[in-house]
Copies of this chain bind each other. A is one copy, B any other.
Amino acid sequence: MNKELAQARVFFESEALENFSRILRSKDYGKVAVLCDSNTQEFCLPAFLAALPELPSDKLEVLEIEPGEEQKSIEVLAQLWDAFGALNLDRNSLLVNLGGGVISDLGGFAAACYMRGIDFVNFPTSLLAMADASVGAKTGINFAGFKNRIGLFVEPIMVGILPAFLKSLAAEEMLSGWAEMLKHGLIADEEHYQDLIRRKPMADFIDAELLDRSVAIKASVVNRDQKEAGLRKVLNFGHTVGHALEAYYATQQNPISHGHAVALGMQVELSLSTVFAALKPQEAETITKELGGLYPFPDWDIEKEAFLKLMRGDKKNQGQQLRFTLLAACGRAVYDIAIPESDVWEHLQKFTGV
């Protein structure tokens, strides 16, 4: 993949549909399977199919799974592969992932490994998937209690973003994607952050232009570092603490959304940034307050050892050392900052302690 490609593959609105039609005409797939969850099958699939008269019904198959992060399992993956076989998908088949990040992570990984790789395209339906998961080629499943432990960096042949799908989302889902967009601003583009924080995270205020800006920030980072060797780690801002919180609350039967967890993680990591990076305390306080207004900490205690164990399992760590992405200023990130566990726990206590 080269510098142009990752961005060039993301198309919005009518261009997305036109480009997809062009691919269908030129590739002449024997089978086209659409992977949905029960929500996207109900709320997105009818409009999607209606917009694509090129798709002959005798080649079309629809695969439906339940919604939810727990579908990103090796068991559901194996069921998908069984279904691919039952539908006689071969190397000349296409998989269309119509859904949020669960669908594109699971479907992308399943397609990339089936017969050593068949084509797939993503039509993200959640804000998180549109603004974040649409770029970066990440696919995978959760395994042994760790998020995305098993997976691949692999590109869909195109990503089509239809903002109209946002209208079907619940407020909590909008907030989840919004957190990643705020993160894009915080790590790389202060103006984008300021633009976002003055808006409301609702479908009516989110247009292709705003999405495109988040996508462009992410693409510019990813294009310079495909496999997270260095720079790409800036995208992990909020995620080291955030992933651990997300996993922790899930084990406590009190799940919070991915974006909510990342927004909580960002608040802790903003605090760490005033000690371990050059972020001014005043600036940290302002942003923390803005984030905290949208994303409050839940009122539950956190058990220290369980939390730290989850954080240690993070893919970003080397050996036993915790590495963080922090902010030097609003719009400027630094990465690979080693921080002792005790300091992370101490800063987390500012938000969850009594």
Q: A interface vs B, CB < 8 Å?
A: 30, 74, 78, 81-82, 85, 88, 90-92, 109, 112-117, 138, 140, 143-144, 146, 148-153, 227-228, 315, 317-320
Q: Closest approach, in angstroms, between the C-beta of A13 and any C-beta of chain B?
A: 31
Residue contact B319 to A90, C-beta cutoff 8 Å: yes
From the candidates B117, B140, B149, name the one contacting A85 in the complex (CB within 8 A): B149
Q: List 28 A-B contacts (CB under 8 A).
A: A30-B318, A74-B74, A78-B143, A81-B149, A81-B150, A82-B144, A85-B143, A85-B144, A85-B146, A85-B149, A88-B320, A90-B317, A90-B318, A90-B319, A109-B113, A113-B152, A114-B149, A114-B150, A115-B149, A115-B315, A116-B140, A116-B148, A116-B151, A116-B152, A116-B153, A116-B228, A117-B227, A152-B152
Q: Closest approach, in angstroms, between the C-beta of A115 and any C-beta of chain B?
A: 5
Residue contact B81 to A143, C-beta cutoff 8 Å: yes
Q: Closest approach, in angstroms, between the C-beta of A110 and any C-beta of chain B?
A: 9
Q: Specify which of A82, A138, A151 lies most central, judged by the most chain B CB atoms within 10 Å of its CB.
A: A151
* Given A109-B113, A116-B148, A116-B151, 4 new contacts (CB under 8 A): A30-B319, A113-B150, A116-B228, A117-B153
Residues of chain B lying within 8 A (CB to CB) of residue A138: 116
Residue contact B82 to A117, C-beta cutoff 8 Å: no
Residue contact B319 to A113, C-beta cutoff 8 Å: no
Report how many copies the assembly holds. Answer: 2
Q: Closest approach, in angstroms, between the C-beta of A67 and any C-beta of chain B?
A: 24
Residues of chain B lying within 8 A (CB to CB) of residue A317: 90
Residue contact B90 to A152, C-beta cutoff 8 Å: no
Residues of chain B lying within 8 A (CB to CB) of residue A116: 138, 140, 148, 151-153, 227-228, 315
Residue contact A318 to B92, C-beta cutoff 8 Å: yes
Residues of chain B lying within 8 A (CB to CB) of residue A315: 90-91, 115-116
Q: Specify which of A144, A150, A227 lies most central, judged by the most chain B CB atoms within 10 Å of its CB.
A: A150
Residues of chain B lying within 8 A (CB to CB) of residue A143: 78, 81, 85
Residue contact A92 to B319, C-beta cutoff 8 Å: yes
Q: Closest approach, in angstroms, between the C-beta of A70 and any C-beta of chain B?
A: 17
Closest Cβ neighbor of A85 among chain B residues: B144
A89 to B90, CA, bound (A): 34
A235 to B81, CA, bound (A): 26
Residues of chain B lying within 8 A (CB to CB) of residue A319: 30, 90, 92
